[in-house]
Amino acid sequence: MNEFAKSHKFLKIVFGLGLFIILCLGGYSYKHIQQLSDTRDNITHTYEITLELERMLAQVYYAKANHRGFIISQDSVFLHPFITNKVKIVGHLYNLEVLTKSNDVQHKNLDTLSTDVRSLISYLDQTISYNQSQLREPDTLKNVFINSRYKEDLIRTRTTNMVDLENDVLEIRQSENSQVLNYTPIILYSVLILTLILLMLAYARITHDINYLKRINRTLDLYKNSSQQAEIIGQNGTWIWNIDDNTFEFSDNFYRLMGVHPKNINDGLDTFLSNVHKNDRAQLKRHIIKMKTEEHPPFMNYRIIDPNYNVKHFKVYGQLVETKDGQKQIIGTTADITADVENLYTIENRNRELEHNNKELSTFNYVASHDLQEPLRKIQTFLSRLEIEDKHSLSQKGLHYIERVKSSAARMRMLIDDLLQYSRTNKSDKKFIDTDINNIINDVLEELSPSIKSTGAIINVDEFPKMKVTPFQMHQLFVNIINNAIKYRKENVTPKVNITYNEVKSNTVKPLQQSLFKYFHNISITDNGIGFDEAHADKIFILFKRLHKEKYDGTGIGLSICKKIVDNHNGYILASGEPNVGAKFDIYIPFLR
């Protein structure tokens, strides 16, 4: 756009310059024409003077001839023309007087000339009045003629001088003018060329600009199209509200959102508001006032009723702008968020459902923890009472049955305890605390010390760093895995359990590669027990899945709890094993550096 503005300036300059040059050219031409007409006037003037002088001279000749005729004949036939000649001479002199006004030298010459002419005429007049007697004198007549002849010569000389002078002046002026006039075509031509060049430059510029505009227009068209598409995809529409004359300009999609045909609601604010849900109208009005005053008004949600009486949820944002001519406009975008709002409702409903389910689940937990445990505990306690108090009054069979009931009750207790443990590890609200894992392992070994002692198990533990974990859960994790290692030991072989620590990067361990975390604590627990078939490695963590059902007592919950605990820590637990060699559990807990 900057380039465009520059171009605009350039064009202005070019056109201004062109105009100026043409104006100068006009002035220059005018001056030249003036000069030409001056020249013509000068020539005419010179010719007029020359002509007038010639005519006067001719009249002088006529007058002299008529005078001579009269003198000789004394016939008045010559006298009349003579008088006419005199009058004409005076007329010519007057004309010459006027013509020579502009030239002082000529004027002076004329003065001398007219004096001579007048003296000649007066001389002639004088002789006419001479009577016959006076004329009879030869000398007199001779004098008259000689004097007139002399005067006549003088007049002729003067006239010739004046004509020469006039011709000289004319010649000088013409030579002056012709010099100027010689340059005129060249100047005119070159100026014309210059103007042409300028115009061509301007033309080139305009063409360039037009191309540029065309390109921009094409891009704008593209943008318009894509923004229309965006509006359709994004379920929004744009609008401009001209506040001063209360008219709206809506984008096509806006009409679509409103569910009406284009140009159907362009009757100002009130018509628009009539489509708004009546409960939201007042608030929207208030919001519009806000849009007029605040620079960054907040978003607002409102509802409209479309022509099919469907409620739609809209979200609007608008900002006040002022056009160059001082018109106030609000430019805004309105989005149809009906789907979002409906989704939100659905999610809220689901959440409520989920919450309800969770509540039910925790109620179940409570039932399991308290209500189920309590009768079982009493059964067991009563059994223990019965066994001691009435040992002697019971038959062997009866004692055997009590044994069977006891073992069933014990198994039920184990199941309830493990299930509870499992459902408790469900809780997601556990806090992660910086915990010294060494302390946890010490506590665990302490807890397991009876079985460690009775089996003579050897347990080697690495030094562990602090980890961000839920201590209770980590405790449970170690208890379950170490317990398993001791429980599934080989007969007549001292159980050995190695608990080792490594820090690993996620890209070095295959199952961690898709993890978002980069670093992991790797806790490995290896035993020399009965192991398991590698093919079952995945099944091992499934709830109630038991690999060694026949020989060992168990609920199939322990490792599921472990998996859950590790999941809660965003970690991974992997099992590997070989029958009769041992099992290995790798636990990976992510951490941030």
Partner 1 sequence: MTITFKFNYNKICNTLLEEKLKAHHIEFQSLGNGEVEILGKPSEEVLDIFYKEIHSYGIDVVENPKLILVQKIKDLIKDLIFNTDISTNVKTSVYLAEALNKNYSYLASIFSEITYTSIENYIILQKIEYAKTLIIKENLTLTEIAHKLNYSSVAHLSRQFKNTTGITPSAFERIILMRKKEHNHPL
Partner 2 sequence: MAENYVKIALADDDPDDRLFFKEAFEELKIKSKVSTFNDGDTLMSYLNNENNEIPDLLFLDLNMPRKSGLECLVEIKSNDRFNDLAIAIYSTSATEEDIEYTFVKGANIYIKKPNDFNILKKTLSQVVTTNWQFANNGLNRDNFLLRL
6 vs 385, beta carbon nearer partner 2: 385
479 vs 575, beta carbon nearer partner 2: 479
What does 413 interact with, of partner 1, partner 2, none (CB < 5 to 8 A by kind)?
Answer: partner 2
Q: Confirm or reject binding of residue 414 to partner 2 (CB under 8 A).
A: no
CA angle at 102 for the pair 98 and 103, rounded to the nearest 5°: 105
Beta strands, E only, 399-536 = 433-436, 458-461, 466-469, 496-505, 519-527
Whole-number Cα distances in Å, 325 to 31, 233, 244, 328, 501: 46, 35, 12, 9, 75
Q: How many CB atoms lie under 10 A from the CB of residue 436? A: 13
Q: Confirm or reject binding of residue 74 to partner 2 (CB under 8 A).
A: no
Q: Confirm or reject binding of residue 373 to partner 2 (CB under 8 A).
A: yes
276 vs 440, beta carbon nearer partner 1: 440
Number of residues near partner 2 (by CB under 8 A): 18
Contact window for partner 2 (CB under 8 A) among 53-61, 169-177, 337-345, 371-379 = 371-379
3-class DSSP assignment, residue 285: helix
Residues 69-88 close enough to bind partner 1 by CB under 8 A: none
Residues 412-441 close enough to bind partner 1 by CB under 8 A: 439
| Residue 124 identity | L
Backbone angles phi, psi at 583, to 5 degrees: -125, 155
Contact between 124 and 64 under an 8 Å Cβ cutoff? The reply is: yes
d(CA 70, CA 77) in angstroms, rounded, equals 8
Q: Confirm or reject binding of residue 411 to partner 2 (CB under 8 A).
A: no
Backbone angles phi, psi at 503, to 5 degrees: -100, 130
Which residue pairs from 405-412 have beta carbons closer than 8 angstroms and sit at least 24 positions apart in sequence? Answer: 405/379, 406/380, 409/376, 409/379, 409/380, 409/383, 410/380, 411/553, 412/376
Contact window for partner 2 (CB under 8 A) among 95-103, 162-170, 374-382, 500-508 = 374-382
Number of residues near partner 1 (by CB under 8 A): 6
Q: Confirm or reject binding of residue 243 to partner 2 (CB under 8 A).
A: no
Q: Confirm or reject binding of residue 460 to partner 1 (CB under 8 A).
A: no
Q: Which of 44, 442, 502, 508 is the binder for partner 1 (CB under 8 A)? A: 442
Shortest distance (Å) from residue 360 CB to partner 2: 19
How far, in whole angstroms, is CA 525 from its chain's centroid? 61
Q: Confirm or reject binding of residue 545 to partner 2 (CB under 8 A).
A: no
Query: Could you tell me the strand order of the sheet in which 572-578 lies?
Result: 458-461, 496-505, 519-527, 582-591, 572-578
- Contact mark string toward partner 2, 470..509, x via CB under 8 A: --x--x----------------------------------
Shortest distance (Å) from residue 540 CB to partner 1: 30
Residue from 472, 370, 365 nearest 423 by CA: 365
- Contact mark string toward partner 2, 417..446, x via CB under 8 A: -------x----------------------
Q: Confirm or reject binding of residue 391 to partner 2 (CB under 8 A).
A: no
Q: Which of 48, 209, 340, 443 is the binder for partner 1 (CB under 8 A)? A: 443
- How large is the greatest C-alpha to C-alpha distance in the chain, in angstroms? 222
Contact between 422 and 386 under an 8 Å Cβ cutoff? The reply is: no
Q: Confirm or reject binding of residue 377 to partner 2 (CB under 8 A).
A: yes
- Structure token digits, residue 437: 């894992």
CA angle at 26 for the pair 24 and 32, rounded to the nearest 5°: 105
Shortest distance (Å) from residue 484 CB to partner 1: 22
Q: Which of 1, 5, 186, 388 is the binder for partner 2 (CB under 8 A)? A: 388
Residues forming contacts to partner 2 in the complex (CB under 8 A) are 369-370, 373-374, 376-378, 380-382, 384-385, 388, 409, 413, 424, 472, 475
Residues forming contacts to partner 1 in the complex (CB under 8 A) are 439, 442-443, 445-446, 449
